[in-house]
Structure 1
């Protein structure tokens, strides 16, 4: 299936790909030019895992080479129909400078022959469109660190496929720093969802085991996402709940 690209997303796609990668910015030079999609670099690989939000929506995928591809949760249903684990995909998008994370704009699935294009959120889209988060526990060995579109660390993928969401400031918390890296064994409690796509937990306490947990400060939830970092710009939607309010400092450790 192919979705026509909106004016907003064409603004995101416009400009030379080499310039966007060099500066790490999702800048837009023109709009209204469908050919601008061709300027975006492509990334190909096999889908190894999906990542989901604590409410159960797909918000990305991990390729077999470890590359993380991010998509907005409002594409969750389309991605679920078009892409399966093990499929070969080609993604066009923008890469965060210095980190293996790409903000995807289009997906072409060579197995299903389906195409998904980010057309912006549908009218009325919101958290109520997905499952309600409930209290959950998760444990396992860390496979890799996850990132937001700006290249900030904001989660962990466990070897069993579970996604642990954490506020980016917690990656500077020395009390838990040893746990937030590949190979570490972790246990976490928080609020989340488990469904056919996987399991995700918004972490409220984490430790090497369930009897040795360290509480972490909950993130502020702004009224609007204010993107920051090298990939700020139209479509910088991912994990908005982890952004501190501009008028308040990040929680003290």
Structure 2
């Protein structure tokens, strides 16, 4: 069984034999909830590619320390996957973020699509983005990732078009598309952008904007998936044809 992973703000200067302190909510959950004990081996990561493995040397109410036994610097996975996720209703946004993180997405971009039922404005936008980011952080630890995904601020359709235009490959999931995603040639490096529409579907104007930017309209299959699961299915199709999953 793989070791539990805990996130720390920085691992700069961490080396074999050094001691790293973990404090705050992360430590409280490990010690008080998960019952972390001295001598237990854990992994600490900064979420930016560096991880250390070592044994717990001390524990406190909101703190514990680890003596570093191994240091690993993991390069960012390629190709980089970016998913533009139209805002779903209810708690389906957190579900989408969780499964996208588990499958290895590097960046999740919440998008205010024309037919999105959910609305992020003002204070709610800030809180909702923070909630998605927290979900991504916890899912990254659970899936033992060294690189944590970024959750971007809410994007407009113009923002998404610009993102698609700068990608090495951009695909828009559309149930009426004639080209299957499985037939698209996938670059082994660079950035891949996947655009997932809302439950109500994409508008003609949105599709036209993305295609004009260089994106390709594709379908997954005969079934119509929910917006909260379509992204992870598309990423799995793409990843299966890259060195990341071979």
Q: TM-score normalised to the size of structure 2?
A: 0.27
More strand by share: 1
Q: TM-score normalised to the size of structure 1?
A: 0.26
